[in-house]
């Protein structure tokens, strides 16, 4: 048990939920990408969701880790990473980091009109 004190007035720090950990991981990777391409990615929104919406025909058996929604009019482009499919595929934090990094790089490369290998 941790008692409140001057450095921790509320006692024990609340542990992060899996969703909070995933959001933090994505934010870290997005910060690195936007630092590298600040102008090109200035109008791109990045988000996380727990699950992708179900497909209309339910025939797609492959897992979807993310989606890219292109900009339309005044609506900016948006990259959404889905937490549960990533967690089901990647069991450790390092595996999740690598998978999310790969997914984000693919979408950023697509937005920039480049090959993901070049990034």
Q: Number of helices and strands (H, E) in the chain?
A: 3, 3
Three-point CA angle 76, 81, 84, nearest 5°: 150
Q: Is the pLDDT of residue 93 over 90?
A: yes
For the whole prediction, is pTM greater than 0.85? no
- Helices 18-36 and 93-112, axial angle in degrees (round to 10): 40
pLDDT for residue 60: 47
As a whole number, mean pLDDT of residues 50-59 equals 72
Q: How confident is the model at residue 4 (pLDDT cuts 50, 70, 90)?
A: low
CATH number for the domain whose boundaries are 18-52+64-111 = 3.30.2010.20
């Amino acid at each position: 048990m941790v008692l409140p004190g001057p450095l921790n007035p509320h006692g024990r720090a609340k542990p992060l939920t899996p969703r909070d950990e995933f959001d933090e991981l994505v934010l870290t990777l997005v910060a690195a990408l936007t630092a590298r391409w600040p102008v090109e990615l200035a109008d791109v929104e990045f988000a996380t969701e727990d699950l992708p919406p179900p497909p209309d025909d339910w025939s797609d058996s492959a897992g979807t880790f993310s989606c890219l929604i292109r900009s339309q009019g005044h609506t900016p482009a948006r990259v959404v990473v889905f937490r549960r499919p990533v967690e089901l595929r990647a069991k450790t934090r390092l595996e999740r980091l690598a998978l999310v990094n790969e997914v984000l790089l693919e979408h950023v490369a697509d937005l920039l009109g480049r090959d993901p290998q070049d990034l």
